[in-house]
Amino acid sequence: MKTFKTIVIAFILLGLIWVDLPENIKIKYNIPTQIDFKVFGLNVKKDFTTKLGLDLKGGSSLIFEADTSKVKKEDLNDSINSARDVIERRINFFGVTEPQIQTVKTGNKYRLSVDLPGISNYEEAIKLIGQTAQLKFKELGNENIATNTPIFLQLTKDTGLSGIHILKSTVEFNSQDGKPEVGLRFNKKGTELFAAITKRNIGKPVGIFLDNMPLTTPTVQTEILDGSAVITGNFTTEEAKKLTIAINSGALPLPIKLVEQKNIGPTLGEIEVRKSVYAGTIGLIAVLLFMIIYYGRLGFIASLALLIYGLISLFIFKAIPLVLTLPGVAGFILSIGMAVDSNILIFERIKEEQRKGKAFDIAVRLGFGRAIDAIKDANVTTLTVAFILFNPLNWEFLPQFGMVRGFALTLAIGVGTSLFTGVVITKRLINFFYKND
């Protein structure tokens, strides 16, 4: 039974080391950094790579504030969603990997926070994203274009009908077959324009373009005079919804203003990472040496526990995955310093019991038992502060800054893990190393 336990622990350790190894390390064997397998029909897929934050990898973090003054209250949600959608579309056009777009509501202000990791041409990106969406209706141009070109390329002539002429677009369901459709309602001017357009284009396609990208190119069936049109097609509800959001971004345009931008060049982050890793290593060695010199054999055990602590923490960072920022790295490094605390508390207790003349194994048992209260008490405050700083429920009256959060999260994970390694692992190690004495 004991051997079995040791083997299990050894395997877990190997697993941790495997996950924690740097991805770019060059070893003879190609180590996969992904788990992808099926258990009881469940798809297990996990990517174990370190995610670096903007400050380390470089990139842009932008916050736009939406001017909602001209939007009716009932349309507010639709127009915010549309604005978000437009930004996403433009970013995808820019080809940024893993962008993050969030709507943040503070008081009665709506903001869109946009993170673009790894982007270097931020000036152009800001210009592109900050524009108000342009929705246009186009019809077939006069030029003779080969008929085999895609329809949207043939639609070159501007009809003069645009986003300002649309009141709103909604998802509707056909009264006969219940299929989803996209409904459009025009204002007075729009109704006139649309009537004329449909009259001269019966049987021909008319395209709706957003930022000069085609959204849909339906064919006109009849002349529409009452200013309300439906676009049918074999839409799924999801597709219809997407199309209405896109049309609404032109119909309920939300001017957005850049209120905050942080752009970090890629070189700066690289230097900082290297320096931090270097500093962390030196600090770690100092701590290990200190523990071994001061506490001897017990210090060696604490050092082992600390290394295991490092492995577990890194594993958690990679598994969540946690986006590592510079303050996050600092939080982790600080927590290494704090992690030893529980060991020191226990060891001092053990020494104290030994001074009272108790045998080593009894002193160990008493030391662990008594120190745990103090350890528990002492860590509660750190966790409380970390909780408030991390703001997990995203309360608007608390800071929602990414930097502070990164620090709080790694610190909390660090403290939690250190409770486990400092108490449970250390006890196991002591049992293991001292059982032959």
Token code pair at residue 276: 């931090």
111: amino acid identity, one letter: R
| CB of residue 61 to another protein, shortest distance in Å | 9
Looking at the Cβ atoms of 205 and 337, the one nearer to another protein is 337
Answer for which of 292, 378, 420, 427 binds another protein (CB under 8 A) is 378
Residue 131 lies near another protein (rule: CB under 8 A): no
For another protein, the closer of residues 96 and 252 by Cβ is 96
Q: Looking at beta carbons only, is 173 or 290 nearer to another protein?
A: 290
Q: Provide, rounded to whole angstroms, the least separation between the CB of residue 242 and another protein.
A: 30
How far apart CA 302 and CA 74 sit, in angstroms, is 61
Instruction: Note whether 416 binds another protein by CB under 8 A.
Output: no
Within 13 Å, how many C-alpha atoms sit on residue 202's CB side? 7
Q: In the set 3, 97, 108, 381, which binds another protein (CB under 8 A)?
A: 381
Q: Does 279 bind another protein (CB under 8 A)?
A: yes
Q: Does 379 bind another protein (CB under 8 A)?
A: yes
The one among 151, 263, 304, 427 contacting another protein by CB under 8 A: 263
Burial code (b: 16+ CB inside 10 Å, e: under 16) for 289-314 equals eebbeebeebbebbbbbbebbbbbbb
Region near another protein per CB under 8 A, out of 205-213, 275-283, 313-321, 359-367: 275-283
Among 7, 153, 282, 319, binds another protein (CB under 8 A): 282
Q: Which stretch binds another protein (CB under 8 A): 20-28, 169-177, 235-243, 394-402?
A: 394-402
Burial class (CB in 10 A: 0-12, 13-18, 19+), 16: middle
**What is the DSSP code string of 283-352?**
HHHHHHHHHHHHHTHHHHHHHHHHHHHHHHHHHHHHHTT-EE-HHHHHHHHHHHHHHHHHHHHHHHHHHH
Q: Which stretch, 2-10, 69-77, 225-233, 386-394, contacts another protein (CB under 8 A)?
A: 386-394
String marking each residue 218-257 x if it binds another protein according to CB under 8 A: ----------------------------------------
Q: 195 or 304: whose CB is closer to another protein?
A: 304
Using CB under 8 A as the binding rule, the residues of this chain from 57 to 96 that contact another protein are 63, 65
Which residue of 152, 272, 416, 433 would you call a contact of another protein, by CB under 8 A? Answer: 272
Identify residue 312 by its one-letter amino acid code: I
| 284 near another protein, judged by CB under 8 A | yes
Task: Give me the 307-346 binding string for another protein, x by CB under 8 A, dash otherwise.
Answer: -------------------xx--x--xx-xxx-xx--xx-
Contact 348, 341 (CB under 8 A): no
Q: Which of these ranges, 31-39, 152-160, 179-187, 371-379, lies near another protein under the rule CB under 8 A?
A: 371-379
Residue 386 class from Cβ within 10 Å (0-12 exposed, 13-18 middle, 19+ buried)? buried
Rounded to 5, what percent of the chain is helix, strand, coil? 55, 20, 25
- What are the structure tokens assigned to 63, written together? 């916050």
Residues 144-154 as b/e (b if ≥16 CB within 10 A, e otherwise) read eeeeeeeebeb
Cβ of residue 67: shortest distance to another protein, in angstroms?
13
Which of 254, 278, 206 is CA-nearest to residue 86?
A: 254
Phi/psi at 216 (5° precision)? -155, 150
Question: How many residues form the binding site for another protein (CB under 8 A)?
Answer: 71
- Sign, Cα dihedral of 308, 310, 315, 320: positive
> Could you give the CA distance from residue 45 to residue 39 in angstroms, rounded to a whole number?
11
Going by the DSSP 8-state scheme, the letter that residue 133 receives in this structure is P
CB of 49 to another protein, least distance (A): 22
In the list 156, 276, 300, 434, the residue contacting another protein (rule: CB under 8 A) is: 276
**227 or 331: CB nearest another protein:** 331
Considering the rule CB under 8 A, would residue 294 count as an interface residue with another protein?
A: yes
Is residue 398 near another protein by the rule CB under 8 A? yes
Q: Of 6-35, which residues contact another protein (CB under 8 A)?
A: none
Q: CA-to-CA distance for 163 and 328, rounded, in angstroms?
A: 44
- Which residue is associated with the tokens 């250190």? 418
Q: How far is CA 224 from CA 83, 184, 205, 220, in A?
A: 29, 11, 14, 9
123 is an interface residue for another protein by CB under 8 A = yes
Q: Among 35-43, 89-97, 393-401, 422-430, which window interacts with another protein (CB under 8 A)?
A: 393-401
Contact flag: residue 377 with another protein (CB under 8 A): yes
Among 201, 228, 232, 382, binds another protein (CB under 8 A): 382
- Looking at 175, 397, 435, 437, which residue binds another protein (CB under 8 A)? 397
